[in-house]
């Protein structure tokens, strides 16, 4: 059965709550998911994710810490409009292959080819990103949101498989 949905856990395990996406991916990997769904922990490997975005996915769900100014632990689900990603100013030598800033990775992928997938983000408002010293482990409030975020990803993937005929096998 062809895999149609990529769930991409992203983040840096040495920067506290930035590891949120990685932890959600680990939890999802232990669950029984539909065979059309692939879960992958990309960590901070931005080029790996950029190339994966160019593959023939129907949908990609990025899971990451997302700062939007709400209370730590707040969860978000957002569909990303590709026309809002394309930005002529992206051609910058400051792109770092060893960090993961999802918007920059999406722009990089779009500069390399066509991203055909519908793009979604399941994010969590971080409480502590480790500061200059870094920090291992999620804060309690973000750790408490991991299971619910995994449920949100499963629900979104299930809805996409049911609603989009192209996603059905």
Q: Which of 122, 138, 103, 147 is nearest to 12 (CA)?
A: 138
Helix 20-29 and helix 146-163: axis angle, to 10°?
60
Domain CATH number, residue 104: 3.40.50.1450
Per mean pLDDT, which range of 1-10, 55-64, 80-89, 134-143 is the poorest? 80-89
Percent of the chain with pLDDT over 90: 51
Could you tell me the two tokens for 14?
A: 């040495």
Average confidence (pLDDT) over 127-131: 85
Percent of the chain with pLDDT over 70: 82
> Containing domain of residue 89, as a range?
5-167
Domain total of the chain: 1
State the pTM of this model: 0.85
SS3 letters for 113-156?
CCCCCEEEEEEECCCCCCCCCCECCCCHHHHCCHHHHHHHHHHH
Q: What is the rounded distance in angstroms from the CA atom of residue 112 to the CA atom of residue 106?
A: 10
């Amino acid at each position: 059965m062809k895999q149609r949905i990529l769930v991409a856990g992203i983040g840096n395990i040495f920067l506290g709550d930035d590891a949120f996406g990685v932890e959600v991916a680990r939890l999802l990997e232990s669950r029984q998911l539909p065979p059309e769904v692939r879960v992958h922990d990309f960590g901070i490997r931005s080029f790996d994710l950029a190339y994966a975005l160019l593959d023939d996915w129907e949908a990609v769900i990025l899971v990451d810490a997302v700062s939007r100014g709400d209370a730590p632990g707040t969860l978000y689900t957002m569909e990303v409009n590709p026309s809002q990603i394309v930005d002529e100013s992206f051609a910058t030598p400051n792109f770092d292959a060893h960090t993961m800033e999802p918007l920059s990775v999406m722009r990089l992928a779009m500069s390399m080819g066509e991203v055909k997938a519908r793009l979604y983000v399941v994010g969590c408002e971080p409480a502590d990103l480790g500061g200059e010293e870094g920090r291992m482990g999620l804060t309690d409030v973000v750790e408490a949101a991991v299971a619910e975020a995994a449920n949100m990803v499963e629900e979104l993937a299930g809805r996409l498989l049911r609603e989009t005929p192209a996603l059905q096998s």
